[in-house]
């Protein structure tokens, strides 16, 4: 995505950011709805986070030993997320999902896993099967270099197919160590879970004796303080986190039930390690970010309102232009899909008009609005955005679509 292969043209090299604005290497400013792919819930360079990073850096950047900050952050995560009783910090969402699945396989003694078409869980070999994100954007959902023997243990099902996944789990659930899902799909564009979908996953994985893993790398602290599991009231066995919890620095985590997490070394036999895991700078940024969000009155109500306003204005722009398109939104993450009336699953988003999106992307860029350079990604609203910023997004979209 960073190369803009999906939309064409030369990618921007960004030099700095402040609040809801970014500035490229040529000095041009843009209203930003990328937000470092959703990580920057406070916007760019929030003073509190920058100060925390600076103060921590003065005392050392890495030790390869425990620090008090790791424990403080772990407490925040455990308190916020219903599923998490213990947590392990890692460096990236890819590490989080890879480690969670290793743990699930060890705990259950089963090797196969189930994922959903269009969901992306990082560039783990076993998960690059019918993947979303860059794989979907570039039209190569299965990557060269991944041996068939690795993906042979990966089963796939259709996102939001309640009846289909129930039937599959009742027939084959005994073979599975885990079912992994984005509770709100964000890597094929935003697709909300259908009524009963997450509940069915919870019921049927429990029945089958396999673990339910929520990939909340995007949705964690984004769609609510307690993530998608809190928003929808469905508690998984393991949760993977990233983006927001690092405050713009490389940090991720996975956590879950105590009896499961205690199978990790050193209390258990399942190996996982990383030199920079729990890096003091990233932990400081994450703590400052979560503390700021937690102390902002009505933070998630505001994000919901700004997201709803963006959805409304984009919908009005679509109607005024009389084009076939739709806006799919959950909280402060949303996608404008071209060429389709609604999206429920991978098959729907595959019909999206990527050429139309590319034209829209470049038109918006000329209007000074920076969007994710892919039809199959989410726009993100931050607490740094104002009502005026959202109105500007709507005006630009209306003008670009009118002159398409």
Residues 20 and 71 in one domain: no
Same domain for 104 and 221? yes
Per-residue model confidence (pLDDT) at position 138? 38
> How many angstroms separate the first and last alpha carbons of the chain?
23
Q: Which residue is listed with tokens 């940090």?
A: 251
Same-domain check for residues 237 and 356: no
Catalytic residue flag (residue 142)? no
Query: Is the same domain home to 42 and 107?
Result: no
Q: Which of 120, 232, 300, 346 is catalytic?
A: 120
Pair (333, 233) in one structural domain = no
Structure tokens at 89: 């910090």
Q: Select from 360, 355, 354 the least CA-distant residue to 314.
A: 360
Q: What is the domain extent for residue 86?
A: 47-294
The verdict on 138 and 267 lying in the same domain is yes
Under 8 Å between Cβ of 115 and 272: no
Q: Does 348 lie in the same domain as 390? A: yes
pLDDT value at position 129? 67
215 tagged catalytic: yes
Q: Which residues of the chain, if any, have pLDDT below 50?
A: 132, 134-141
Return the CATH number at 371: 3.90.1150.10
Look at residue 337 and tell me if it is in a domain.
yes
324 and 264 within one domain:
no
Per-residue three-class SS string for the chain: CCCCCCCCCCCCCEEEEEECEEEECCCCEEEECCHHHHCCCCCECCHHHHHHHHHHHHCCCCCCCCCHHHHHHHHHHHHHCCCCCEEEEECCHHHHHHHHHHHHHHHHCCCEEEEECCCCCCCCHHHCCCCCHHHHHCCCCCCCCCCHHHHCCEEEECCCCHHHHHHHHHHHHHHEEEEEECCCECECECECCCCCHHHHHHHHHHHHCCEEEEEECCCCCCCCCCHHHHHHCCCCCEEEECHHHHCCCCCEEEEECHHHHCCECCCCCECCCCCCCCCHHHHHHHHHHHHHHHCCCCHHHHHHHHHHHHHHHHHHHHHHHCCCEEEEEECCEEEEEECCCCCCCHHHHHCCCHHHHHHHHHHHHHCCEECCCCCCCCEECCCCCCHHHHHHHHHHHHHHHHCC
Domain end point (choices 294, 309, 342)? 294
What is the pairing mode between strands 252-256 and 154-157? Answer: unpaired
Residue 5 lies in a domain: no
Q: Is the peptide bond before 266 cis (omega within 30 degrees of 0)?
A: yes
- Pick the catalytic residue: 32, 215, 237, 348? 215
- Which one of 294, 321, 338 terminates a domain? 294
Q: Is residue 4 part of a domain?
A: no
120 carries an active-site annotation: yes
Look at residue 124 in the predicted model and tell me its pLDDT: 77
Q: Which residue matches tokens 């699930």? A: 104
Boundary (domain end) residue, out of 277, 294, 311: 294
Quick check: pTM over 0.85?
yes
Exactly one of 30, 237, 243, 300 is catalytic; which is it?
Answer: 243
Q: For position 146, what pLDDT does the model report?
A: 72
Say if residue 84 is in the same domain as residue 184.
yes
Residue 139 shares a structural domain with residue 235:
yes
Q: What is the model's pLDDT at position 404?
A: 65
> What pLDDT shows up at residue 139?
39
Q: Can you tell me the distance from the alpha carbon of 304 to that of 301, in angstroms, rounded to the nearest whole number?
A: 5
Number of domains comprising the chain = 2
What percentage of the chain reaches a pLDDT higher than 90? 89
């Amino acid at each position: 995505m960073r190369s803009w292969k999906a939309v064409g043209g030369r990618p921007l090299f960004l030099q700095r950011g402040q609040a809801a604005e970014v500035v490229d290497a040529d000095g041009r400013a843009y209203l930003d709805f990328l937000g470092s792919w959703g990580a920057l819930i406070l916007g760019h360079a929030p003073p509190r986070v920058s100060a925390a990073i600076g103060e921590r850096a003065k005392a050392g950047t890495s030790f390869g030993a425990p620090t008090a900050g790791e424990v403080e952050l772990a407490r925040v995560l455990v308190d916020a997320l219903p599923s998490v009783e213990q947590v392990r910090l890692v460096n990236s969402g890819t590490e989080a999902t890879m480690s969670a699945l290793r743990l699930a396989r060890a705990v259950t003694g089963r090797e196969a896993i189930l994922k959903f078409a269009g969901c992306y869980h990082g560039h783990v070999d076993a998960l690059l099967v019918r993947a979303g994100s860059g794989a979907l954007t570039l039209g190569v959902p299965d990557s060269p270099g991944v041996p068939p023997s690795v993906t042979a243990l990966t089963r796939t099902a259709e996102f939001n197919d309640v009846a289909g996944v129930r039937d599959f789990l009742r027939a084959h659930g005994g073979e599975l160590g885990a079912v992994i899902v984005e509770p709100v799909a964000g890597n094929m564009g935003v697709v909300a879970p259908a009524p009963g979908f997450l509940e069915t996953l919870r019921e049927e994985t429990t029945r089958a004796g396999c673990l339910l893993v929520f990939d909340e790398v995007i949705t964690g602290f984004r769609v609510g303080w307690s993530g998608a599991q809190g928003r929808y009231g469905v508690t998984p066995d393991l949760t993977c986190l990233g983006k927001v919890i690092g405050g713009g620095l490389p940090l991720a985590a996975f956590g879950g039930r105590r009896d499961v997490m205690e199978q990790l070394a050193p209390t258990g036999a399942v190996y996982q390690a990383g030199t920079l895991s729990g890096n003091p700078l990233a932990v400081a940024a994450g703590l400052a970010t979560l503390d700021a969000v937690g102390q902002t009155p009505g933070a998630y109500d505001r994000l919901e309102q700004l997201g709803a306003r963006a959805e409304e204005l984009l919908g009005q722009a679509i109607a005024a232009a009389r084009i076939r398109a739709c806006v799919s939104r959950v909280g402060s993450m949303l996608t404008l899909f071209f060429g389709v009336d609604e999206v429920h699953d991978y098959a729907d988003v595959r019909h999206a008009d990527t050429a139309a999106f590319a034209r829209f992307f470049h038109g918006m860029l000329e209007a000074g609005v920076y969007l994710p350079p892919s039809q199959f990604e989410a726009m993100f609203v931050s607490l740094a955005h104002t009502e005026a910023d959202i109105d500007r997004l709507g005006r630009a979209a209306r003008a670009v679509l009118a002159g398409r």
